[in-house]
């Protein structure tokens, strides 16, 4: 959700804060602000994007400061609700990511004690509580304030005349970037790329004092050392690299991502030896938990593992799983999360661990909360994903799932060889999809005038239909639904007709014939039909109005090429409609609230 940044060092803080904030916008972008501290504190904020704020800011003098880019929870996006928030004297400023559950009670009490509130936010109680407890020691005042707070927070506090940042974390991510005579605090690694590659991740309950040349972290009164990580992502990874949008760049990175992800798992010379067992082979079932696009990868994972490993797999939404009782005996658990910070997924992991389940996490972010609470972690090596819409992380998650399933694989060596060969061919197959975008652009133009669209698929491509619909709706704002092709006639047929195109994913597997029947049913009801079909499929041309052709791959790999084609379809449809592709309305990249 919100992005927060802090800087203290030997340089002017303002340009650094603005640059880092720009890199954090994918966490929320309805308003933003900065506070720069020297002998006093100057705060500038508004309901604008970071680029706009940079244009209206005067030059602020000071080598310490904080910044925030917001995804509103309490109070509409507006200047007063934007962060940083201050105490009554204006000498303490705070940026916060998280939710203070008991803020209304605290606010009432503080008002009765004479504190003056100006915003509708939960955050504003924090500077006032710090003010109330301040008796010359900022760190102690922050500690005392946090003792009163129930909820989640990652905060950075600055105070006029105090050459330090006080930071604290509970259930929201916070990192410290270690520089040379300067230090950084941020919600996320991409914010500080190019400034430093040395990072520590704060743990639950940590309170820290960061100066230009020191970092002290304490928890429950005791000083603690935190492990330092070296970040392998480069500053170019977090830039658009000549593409119009991050989303397009990230879609085009997928051949490389597949190579990088698999390269880490499968050695070119010894493919079988490198397929190490990940978990206990006596497991009777597997549970996969995730949200959003990662959940769709998990659903594909269900088909992959059931086919290759032969054990039953349940893929569930973490947000639903958390509120129901489950039978967990002899079940292996996998949590999939690109960011490693999704609140619902983290809650599910903790809940599984409480009942004694071992949890394997598939994530993109080294040192993320999910990776630190997991029993085992597989990194997907996709590089930073900046666009709010997940693309390359989905593909890389599938690579991790293929590899995981193959590591269990103890059947016919010929099948294993052909699967590994199929995996190795995927980068060039995906490249073919990317090189063949003219027809996708044509379909996007056609789709862009409609209000409602159905995506249908069967078997392993049913989750691809869900993902195609999610991508289209989130960035083009066209209402889209993913459906199992056989289910349309059980209700949604009532919506079919000339105003409602259907996009059918037609795989060359045991679903092919029945899928053609479903397509005929749709055409009979008058819906325009776009088919996503494999090269060499002669029959489909006679049924569909438009055909996007994808290269032929073994059926188990078809979700990869099909999803890439649907990502492009969503991208070009949104572009045709003039939508803000990388920053869709109301969304944020990392959903750190339930």
Catalytic residue positions, numbered:
2, 589
- What is the closest distance, in whole angstroms, from the C-beta atom of residue 442 to ligand F6R in the complex? 24
Do residues 165 and 8 touch, judged by C-beta distance below 8 A?
yes
Select 167 or 365, whichever has its Cβ closest to ligand F6R: 365
Site string for ligand F6R, 192-221 (x = CB under 6 A): ------------------------------
Query: Where in 473-512 is the site for ligand F6R (CB under 6 A)?
Result: 474
Site string for ligand F6R, 318-337 (x = CB under 6 A): -------------------x
**Residue that the structure tokens 């105070």 belong to:** 159
Q: Is 390 in the site for ligand F6R (CB under 6 A)?
A: yes
d(CA 428, CA 424): 9
Q: Is 293 in the site for ligand F6R (CB under 6 A)?
A: yes
Which member of 291, 315, 443, 503 binds ligand F6R (CB under 6 A)? 291
> How would DSSP label each residue in 320-360?
HHTTS----TTEEEEEEESSS--HHHHHHHHHHHHTT--EE
Select 255 or 468, whichever has its Cβ closest to ligand F6R: 468
- Helices 392-408/292-308 angle, 10° precision: 20
Select 67 or 292, whichever has its Cβ closest to ligand F6R: 292
Q: How many residues bind ligand F6R (CB under 6 A)?
A: 15
Which member of 292, 384, 457, 551 binds ligand F6R (CB under 6 A)? 292
List of residues 6+ apart from 415 with CB closer than 8 A: 409
Cis peptide before 162 (omega within 30 of 0): no
- What is the closest distance, in whole angstroms, from the C-beta atom of residue 17 to ligand F6R in the complex? 25
- Helices 254-265/413-435 angle, 10° precision: 160
Do residues 36 and 61 touch, judged by C-beta distance below 8 A?
yes
Do residues 4 and 50 touch, judged by C-beta distance below 8 A?
no
Which member of 389, 440, 485, 531 binds ligand F6R (CB under 6 A)? 389
Q: Is 28 in the site for ligand F6R (CB under 6 A)?
A: no
Select 294 or 395, whichever has its Cβ closest to ligand F6R: 294
Select 265 or 571, whichever has its Cβ closest to ligand F6R: 571
- What is the closest distance, in whole angstroms, from the C-beta atom of residue 338 to ligand F6R in the complex? 3
Site string for ligand F6R, 338-367 (x = CB under 6 A): xx--x--x----------------------
- What is the closest distance, in whole angstroms, from the C-beta atom of residue 390 to ligand F6R in the complex? 3
- What is the closest distance, in whole angstroms, from the C-beta atom of residue 278 to ligand F6R in the complex? 20
d(CA 370, CA 26): 20
Q: Is 573 in the site for ligand F6R (CB under 6 A)?
A: no
* Minimal CB distance residue for ligand F6R: 292
For ligand F6R, which stretch binds (CB under 6 A), given 44-52, 288-296, 420-428, 533-541? 288-296
Beta bridge mates, 45 = 33
List of residues 6+ apart from 268 with CB closer than 8 A: none
Select 474 or 534, whichever has its Cβ closest to ligand F6R: 474
For ligand F6R, which stretch binds (CB under 6 A), given 5-13, 35-43, 257-265, 287-295? 287-295
- What is the closest distance, in whole angstroms, from the C-beta atom of residue 461 to ligand F6R in the complex? 18
Select 44 or 321, whichever has its Cβ closest to ligand F6R: 321
Which of 250, 264, 314, 245 shows the shortest CA–CA distance to 286? 314
Beta bridge mates, 201 = 175
Select 44 or 455, whichever has its Cβ closest to ligand F6R: 455
Select 63 or 563, whichever has its Cβ closest to ligand F6R: 563
Do the strands 92-97 and 153-159 form a parallel or antiparallel pair, or are they unpaired?
antiparallel
- What is the closest distance, in whole angstroms, from the C-beta atom of residue 329 to ligand F6R in the complex? 26
Q: How is residue 61 written in tokens?
A: 């003098």
CB atoms closer than 10 angstroms to residue 51: 12
- What is the closest distance, in whole angstroms, from the C-beta atom of residue 3 to ligand F6R in the complex? 14
CB atoms closer than 10 angstroms to residue 400: 26
For ligand F6R, which stretch binds (CB under 6 A), given 52-60, 99-107, 291-299, 539-547? 291-299
Query: Where in 460-479 is the site for ligand F6R (CB under 6 A)?
Result: 470, 474
d(CA 181, CA 11): 9
d(CA 103, CA 256): 47
Do residues 156 and 207 touch, judged by C-beta distance below 8 A?
no
Which of 569, 454, 551 shows the shortest CA–CA distance to 508? 551
Sheet holding 546-550: strands in order across? 479-484, 452-457, 502-506, 529-534, 546-550
Select 70 or 296, whichever has its Cβ closest to ligand F6R: 296
Which of 561, 292, 558, 556 shows the shortest CA–CA distance to 405? 556
Which of 436, 394, 386 shows the shortest CA–CA distance to 568? 436
Do residues 8 and 212 touch, judged by C-beta distance below 8 A?
yes
- What is the closest distance, in whole angstroms, from the C-beta atom of residue 109 to ligand F6R in the complex? 35
Select 1 or 443, whichever has its Cβ closest to ligand F6R: 1
| CA atoms within 13 Å, Cβ hemisphere of 111 | 10
CA distances from 568 to 26, 276, 508, 565, 581 (A): 20, 35, 21, 5, 12
- What is the closest distance, in whole angstroms, from the C-beta atom of residue 297 to ligand F6R in the complex? 8
- What is the closest distance, in whole angstroms, from the C-beta atom of residue 377 to ligand F6R in the complex? 14
Q: Is 30 in the site for ligand F6R (CB under 6 A)?
A: no
Contacts with ligand F6R, residue ranges (CB under 6 A): 291-294, 337-339, 342, 345, 389-390, 470, 474, 590-591
């Amino acid at each position: 959700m919100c992005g927060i940044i802090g800087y203290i060092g030997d340089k002017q803080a303002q340009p650094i804060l603005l640059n880092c904030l720009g890199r954090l916008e994918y966490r929320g972008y309805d308003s933003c602000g900065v506070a720069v501290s020297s002998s006093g504190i100057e705060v500038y904020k508004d309901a604008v994007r970071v680029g706009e704020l940079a244009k209206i800011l005067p030059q602020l003098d000071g080598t310490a400061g904080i910044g925030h880019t917001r995804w509103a929870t309490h109070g509409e996006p507006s200047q007063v609700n934007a962060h940083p928030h201050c105490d009554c004297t204006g000498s303490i400023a705070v940026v916060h990511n998280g939710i203070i559950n008991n803020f209304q009670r605290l606010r009432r009490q503080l008002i009765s004690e004479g504190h003056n509130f100006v915003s509708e936010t939960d955050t504003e109680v924090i500077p006032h509580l710090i003010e109330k407890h301040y008796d010359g020691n900022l760190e102690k005042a922050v500690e005392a304030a946090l003792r009163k707070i129930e909820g989640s927070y990652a905060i950075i506090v600055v105070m006029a005349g105090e050459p330090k940042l006080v930071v604290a974390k509970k259930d929201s991510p916070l990192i410290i970037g270690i520089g040379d005579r300067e230090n950084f605090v941020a919600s996320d690694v991409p914010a500080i790329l190019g400034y430093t590659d040395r990072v520590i991740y704060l743990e639950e309950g940590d309170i820290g004092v960061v100066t230009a040349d020191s970092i002290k972290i304490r928890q429950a009164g005791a000083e603690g050392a935190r492990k330092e990580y070296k970040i392998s992502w480069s500053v170019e990874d977090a830039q658009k690299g000549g593409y119009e949008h991050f989303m397009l760049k990230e879609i085009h990175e997928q051949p490389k991502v597949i190579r990088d992800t698999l390269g880490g798992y499968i050695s070119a010379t010894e493919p079988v030896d490198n397929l190490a067992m990940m978990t206990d082979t006596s497991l009777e079932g597997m549970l996969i938990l995730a949200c959003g696009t990662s959940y769709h990868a998990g659903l594909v994972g269900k088909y992959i593992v059931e086919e290759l490993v032969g054990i039953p797999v349940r893929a569930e939404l973490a947000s639903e799983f958390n509120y129901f009782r489950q039978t967990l005996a002899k079940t292996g658990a996998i949590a999939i999360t690109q960011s490693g910070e999704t609140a619902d997924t983290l809650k599910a992991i903790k809940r599984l661990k409480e009942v004694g389940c071992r949890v394997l996490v598939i994530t993109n972010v080294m040192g993320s909360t999910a990776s630190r609470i997991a029993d085992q972690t597989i990194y997907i090596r996709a590089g930073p994903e900046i666009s709010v819409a997940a693309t390359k992380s989905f593909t890389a998650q599938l690579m991790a799932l293929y590899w995981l399933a193959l590591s269990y694989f103890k059947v016919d060596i010929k099948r294993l060889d052909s699967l590994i060969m199929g995996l190795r061919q995927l980068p060039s197959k995906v490249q073919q999809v990317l090189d063949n975008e003219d027809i996708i652009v044509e379909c996007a133009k056609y789709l862009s005038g409609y209000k409602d669209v159905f995506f249908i698929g069967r078997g392993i491509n049913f989750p691809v239909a869900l993902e195609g619909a999610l991508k289209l709706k989130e960035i083009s704002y066209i209402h889209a639904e993913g459906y199992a092709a056989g289910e349309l006639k059980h209700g949604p047929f009532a919506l079919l007709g000339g105003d409602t195109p259907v996009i059918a994913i037609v795989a060359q597997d045991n679903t092919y014939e029945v899928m053609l029947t479903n397509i005929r049913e749709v055409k009979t009801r008058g819906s325009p039909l776009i088919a996503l079909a494999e090269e060499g499929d002669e029959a489909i041309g006679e049924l569909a109005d438009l055909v996007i052709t994808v290269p032929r791959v073994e059926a188990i790999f078809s979700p990869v090429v099909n999803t890439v084609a649907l990502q492009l379809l969503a991208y070009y449809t949104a572009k045709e409609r003039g939508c803000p592709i990388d920053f869709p309305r109301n969304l944020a990249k990392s959903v750190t609230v339930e």
